C-alpha cells in the first residue's frame, strides 16, 4: 500500500486533509492552527512531496521525518503534521478493519463525558446557556468566561476592582444556574496578569470550578506555575502548545493539574497520546482541546477511549461564538459524527479508523469562510488579550 495523494480541503472555517492510497483507502484529518489555515495548507502541500509513494502505515516514522526535517516548529508546521497524522491513523484503522483506539491498546471506557460550549455577551445570556445545557443533560459546561464574549470591535476598559469584582459575581451566578449537578469549566482566554489571576482564583474557589483554564498567557510556564501554587482550583492549559516538550516543561514546574492537548495541533493522535501518557505519570488529568469540527472530535475520542487519566471532552455546540454565525450541522459535514446521549456523554465509536468521513457535497455546501484579522484594543489604543 502506498500514498497516492495528499489534499488539503477548505470547508467553512475548517481545514481538512485527505490522504488517498493506491488501495482505495482514504484517511481524513484536520488542522488546529485555525487562524493560519492558508499557511498550513501550503505546508501540507510541501509535505506531500515526501509522502506520496510512502507506506502510510509507517506513522511514527513519517511523524519524526517531517518534524525533524527543517528544524522549524510552530503552529503552522504542527497543524500540518497533526492533520496528516490523524489521516494516517484513519487509514491504518481502515486497513486493519479496526477503530484507532483498538490499535492504541483498546478502550478503557465505552463513552466519554463531554462539556458543552456556552456563549453570551451578557451574564444573563451565559446563565441561560448554563441552564439550557443542564436541561439538555450535560453535566459540565465550558468555554464559560466571567469576562463575557464582548465584541472585539469595542475598545476595552475596566478598573481593576470592576474587572475582578464583576468576574467573581458572574461565576457566583453561573454556579447558581448550574447547581451542583453541572461542573463549571471557567475559561479566561489568557486575559489576566499573574497577580490578577491569583486574585480571581481566590475569589471564585468557593464556587468549586472544575478548572480554571488559561488564566495567563502560555508563553512563560513559570507564571502558570506561580498561579497554580497560589490558588485552590485546578489549572487547565495547553491548547496553544505544539509539542510534547512544551507539556514536559509545564508538568515539571507544576503548572497544571489538567492538560489540554489539541489533537489537531500537538502532533495528531501520535502527539496527543504521548502527552496523555506523560500527564498520567504525574497523575494529571487530560481534557482534549476541541473547538473544531466533528473530525477533530472523532480524533479526540481516540484519546478519551484509551487514556486512563481522561477527565472530560470539549464538545462544541452549533455556535461559533461571534454573533449569529453558526457552524455547519455535524451530520451535514460528516457521516458518523459523535452524538450527545442526553446524559452528559458521547458513545465512543467502534467503526474502523476514526469513524467519520466527509460528506461528498460538504465542500460545495459550505465554502471556505476566511477568518479576518481582528484583535481587541484598549481604550488607550494598546492591544488586549481576549
- Do 16 and 9 form a contact (C-beta atoms < 8 A)? yes
Strand order in the sheet with 14-21: 3-11, 14-21, 26-30
Q: How far is CA 354 from the centre of its chain?
A: 16
- CB burial of residue 244 (10 Å; 0-12, 13-18, 19+): middle
Which residue carries 511523524 as its cell? Answer: 63
Q: How far is CA 98 from the centre of its chain?
A: 25
Question: Which residue among the candidates 62, 189, 283, 340 is catalytic per the annotation?
Answer: 189
Q: Which of 168, 106, 115, 117 is nearest to 139 (CA)?
A: 115
Question: Which residue among the candidates 62, 101, 117, 289 is catalytic per the annotation?
Answer: 289
Which residue carries 453570551 as its cell? Answer: 120
Q: Is 189 a catalytic residue?
A: yes
Strands 313-315 and 3-11, by their bridges, are unpaired
3-state secondary structure of 207: helix
Q: Which of 98, 106, 91, 141 is nearest to 120 (CA)?
A: 141
Q: How far is CA 136 from CA 119, 140, 204, in A?
A: 16, 11, 26
Q: Is 289 a catalytic residue?
A: yes
Instruction: Enumerate the active-site residues.
Output: 189, 289
Amino acid at each position: 500500500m502506498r500514498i497516492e495523494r495528499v489534499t488539503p480541503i477548505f470547508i467553512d472555517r475548517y481545514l481538512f486533509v485527505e490522504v488517498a492510497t493506491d488501495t482505495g483507502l482514504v484517511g481524513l484529518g484536520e488542522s488546529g492552527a485555525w487562524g493560519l489555515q492558508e499557511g498550513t495548507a501550503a505546508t501540507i502541500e510541501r509535505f506531500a512531496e515526501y509522502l506520496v509513494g510512502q507506506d502510510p502505515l509507517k506513522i511514527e516514522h513519517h511523524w519524526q521525518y517531517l518534524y525533524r526535517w527543517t528544524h522549524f516548529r510552530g503552529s503552522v508546521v504542527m497543524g500540518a503534521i497533526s492533520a496528516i497524522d490523524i489521516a494516517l491513523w484513519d487509514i491504518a484503522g481502515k486497513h486493519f478493519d479496526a477503530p484507532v483506539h483498538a490499535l492504541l491498546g483498546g478502550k478503557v471506557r465505552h463513552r466519554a463525558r463531554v462539556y458543552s460550549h456556552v456563549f453570551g455577551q451578557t451574564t444573563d445570556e451565559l446563565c441561560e446557556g448554563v441552564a439550557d445545557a443542564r436541561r439538555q443533560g450535560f453535566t459540565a459546561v465550558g468555554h464559560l468566561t466571567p469576562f463575557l464574549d464582548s465584541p472585539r470591535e469595542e475598545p476595552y476598559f475596566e478598573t481593576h476592582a470592576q474587572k475582578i469584582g464583576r468576574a467573581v459575581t458572574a461565576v457566583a451566578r453561573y454556579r447558581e444556574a448550574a447547581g451542583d449537578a453541572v461542573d463549571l469549566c471557567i475559561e479566561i482566554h489568557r486575559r489576566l496578569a499573574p497577580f490578577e489571576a491569583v486574585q480571581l482564583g481566590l475569589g471564585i474557589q468557593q464556587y468549586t470550578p472544575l478548572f480554571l483554564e488559561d488564566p495567563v498567557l502560555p508563553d512563560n510556564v513559570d507564571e502558570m506555575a506561580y498561579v497554580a501554587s497560589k490558588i485552590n482550583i485546578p489549572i487547565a492549559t495547553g491548547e496553544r502548545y505544539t509539542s510534547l516538550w512544551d507539556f514536559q516543561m509545564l508538568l515539571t514546574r507544576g503548572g497544571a493539574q489538567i492538560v489540554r492537548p489539541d489533537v489537531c495541533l500537538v502532533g495528531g493522535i501520535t502527539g496527543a497520546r504521548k502527552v496523555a501518557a506523560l500527564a498520567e505519570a504525574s497523575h494529571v488529568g487530560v481534557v482534549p482541546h476541541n473547538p473544531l469540527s466533528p473530525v477533530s472530535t472523532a480524533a479526540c475520542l481516540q484519546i478519551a477511549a484509551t487514556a486512563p487519566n481522561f477527565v472530560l471532552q470539549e464538545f462544541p455546540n452549533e455556535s461559533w461564538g461571534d454573533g449569529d454565525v453558526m457552524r455547519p450541522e455535524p451530520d451535514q459535514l460528516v457521516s458518523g459524527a459523535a452524538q450527545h446521549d442526553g446524559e452528559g456523554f458521547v458513545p465512543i465509536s467502534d467503526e474502523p479508523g476514526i469513524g467519520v468521513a466527509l460528506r461528498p457535497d460538504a465542500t460545495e455546501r459550505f465554502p471556505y469562510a476566511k477568518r479576518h484579522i481582528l484583535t481587541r484594543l484598549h481604550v488607550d489604543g494598546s492591544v488586549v488579550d481576549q
